[in-house]
Structure 1
Amino acid sequence: MALTPELSKQAKWKEIAGIPLAAATVDNWNQIQAFKAKPDDLLICTYPKSGTTWIQEIVDMIEQNGDVEKCQRDIIQHRHPFIEWARPPQPSALKLGVDKANEMPSPRILKTHLSTQLLPPSFWKSNCKFLYVARNAKDCMVSYYHFYRMSQVLPDPGTWDEYFETFISGKVNWGSWFDHVRGWWEIRDRYKILFLFYEDMKRDPKREIQKVMQFMGKNLDEEVLEKIVQETSFEKMKENPMTNRSTVPKSILDQSISPFMRKGTVGDWKNHFTVAQNEKFDEIYRQKMKGTSINFCMEL
């Protein structure tokens, strides 16, 4: 029996510890878990749609001392190996993210969407640096919905109402937003973790970029800092083919459905949530985040 596109999309997902991940990632799990982190690694960690590409470009601009040309050397997804990245075996298959990381000279800048419980154990032992960006759950949910719509390799999200239930139950790829953010927040003082908020980055990009610079041990002058602020603005990155995913085939990301870089704002959730959904979400948020000191800004 031939699989319908919907079924074939669904078939590409498996679970590890109850967390949905790409089947190819799960099939290569042992290799991913055996990855050897180094003390001078910097791991960019985010829940999906929390400003990952943005923080990657900021980090790269800092690493390259504000040299725009050097940041144009390759598309962003090739500059920082995505450690859990894997593709089904095929002749043109890209290497595993961990293989690409292993080939990279130190100091390495790596990327992951994995929760603390799924991260390869060597990261905790290596004393490396972690840079975590958290985004408020409501905007994150909306952004992820539009990403699900345009991604040709993720299951169909269904209607907004259906997807709303999927998201709050944690049945989306990379699992529950609540568990992910809470997990990283609770260990932030035990490791070298710089914990940033997407909303703070929108409110005062210069101040947050300065924090990243200091965390990376870089001392760049005011002129370079201003240049990084300008070059990493949403408008600039949306037009930049090295960051806007325009080079990704339509068979993987169909940007005619929704652009990869859609709005980049705070508070867009108000255009999607019904009053009832907002009340329901707030109640679930209170339950899931009970006892944690984390505070999110929901609108600017």
Structure 2
Amino acid sequence: MDSSSYDYSENFSIVHGMIMYKEFAKYWDDVEAFQARPDDLVIATYPRSGVKQLKEMSSPRILKTHLSSEHLPISFWEKNCKMIYVCRNAKDVAVSYYYFFLMVSIHPNPGSFPEFVEKFMDGQVPYGSWYQHTRSWWEKRKNPHVLILFYEDLKEDIRKEVKKMMQFLGRKPSEELVDKIVHHTSFQEMKNNPASNYTAIPEKVINQKVSPFIRKGITGDWKNYFTVALNERFDMHYEQQMKGCTLKLRTEI
């Protein structure tokens, strides 16, 4: 399939120039008007939430989002909420996103992996450009209410990163609590947990026969998918898009 033939018209909308799931986009006015609470914790990532339900949640609330920092409701900044952004290298994100496209039925057929990578590089995927998204959060790194974490660091030394998060949240990192968090966030535990592996969702929505939602959880899997030529093209494009940005990401550990 020619990647240029992607048809997002049925299940997607355009919000501020980026492709967005229609079921989320229809609540966009509510998202922009959302009132944060000072003790809200925001966990943000680029992809690989219902507004009314959040209003009913008791505090402190933990809110997960795929929005860039510039599209996050302004009240989170006004209330000085704490925010954690988890960043992953673009090549592994592209691979993971490709499989997500394959397994979730509302996505258009992504075609071959090289065809999908072209769309990924152009930001023609839900939530827009990885480059813009990542840069938007990286620019907030000096904000004392923002903590930037890296997927590769989490894979390399999860205990160290858990302690970093707990200190950021003003919690004393006891070894017992760290042990418990490390255990429950391990790849195998998350893969076996219905709350995180999405196995309860009907196959017609997420077909995990194509690929499990919790797939590999490794760093460097991109090497199994990028040809030499595609890798060179991606690196060139990456340098252009991230020019002037001080962010350095590891593509293997």
Name the counterpart of 2:105.
152
For 1:16-165, list aligned pairs within 5 A.
16-49=15-48, 82=49, 97-165=50-118
Name the counterpart of 1:13.
12
Amino acid at match of 2:26: D
Among the aligned pairs, what percent are the same residue?
48
Name the counterpart of 2:239.
286
| 1:247 is the counterpart of 2:200 | yes
Q: Give distance in 1, aligned partners of 2:204 and 2:9.
A: 16
What secondary structure does 1:110 align onto? strand
Q: Which has the higher contact order (CA 8 A, sep 6+)?
A: 1
The alpha-carbon deviation at position 10 of structure 1 amounts to 4.0
The alpha-carbon deviation at position 19 of structure 1 amounts to 0.6
Amino acid at match of 2:104: S
Q: Is the 8 A contact 1:135 1:198 kept in 2?
A: yes
Deviation per CA, 1:214-272, whole angstroms, max 9, x where unpaired? 11222242122123212211012111122111111112111001000000000000000
Q: Give distance in 1, aligned partners of 2:218 and 2:43.
A: 21
- Could you say if the C-alpha distance between residues 191 and 174 of structure 1 is closer, same or farther in structure 2, counting changes exceeding 3 Å? farther
Gaps of 5+ in 2: 1-5
What secondary structure does 1:183 align onto? helix
Q: Is the 8 A contact 1:127 1:191 kept in 2?
A: no
Name the counterpart of 1:57.
none
TM-score normalised to structure 2 length: 0.94
Q: Is the 8 A contact 2:39 2:82 kept in 1?
A: yes
Deviation per CA, 1:110-145, whole angstroms, max 9, x where unpaired? 011011221111111111000000000000000000
What secondary structure does 1:242 align onto? helix
Report how many residues are paired.
248
Q: Is the 8 A contact 2:11 2:22 kept in 1?
A: yes
| 1:216 is the counterpart of 2:169 | yes
Q: Give distance in 1, aligned partners of 2:210 and 2:26.
A: 30
Gaps of 5+ in 1: 1-5, 50-81, 83-96
When the two chains are superposed, the root-mean-square deviation of aligned CA atoms in Å is 1.4
Deviation per CA, 1:71-98, whole angstroms, max 9, x where unpaired? xxxxxxxxxxx2xxxxxxxxxxxxxx11
Moved over 3 A (4+): none
TM-score normalised to structure 1 length: 0.80
The alpha-carbon deviation at position 191 of structure 1 amounts to 5.0
The alpha-carbon deviation at position 13 of structure 1 amounts to 0.8
Q: Give distance in 1, aligned partners of 2:27 and 2:177.
A: 41
Deviation per CA, 1:159-196, whole angstroms, max 9, x where unpaired? 11210111000000000000000110011213510100
Q: Give distance in 2, aligned partners of 1:153 and 1:178.
A: 24
Q: Is the 8 A contact 1:10 1:155 kept in 2?
A: no
Deviation per CA, 1:256-299, whole angstroms, max 9, x where unpaired? 01000000000000000011110111111111111111111111
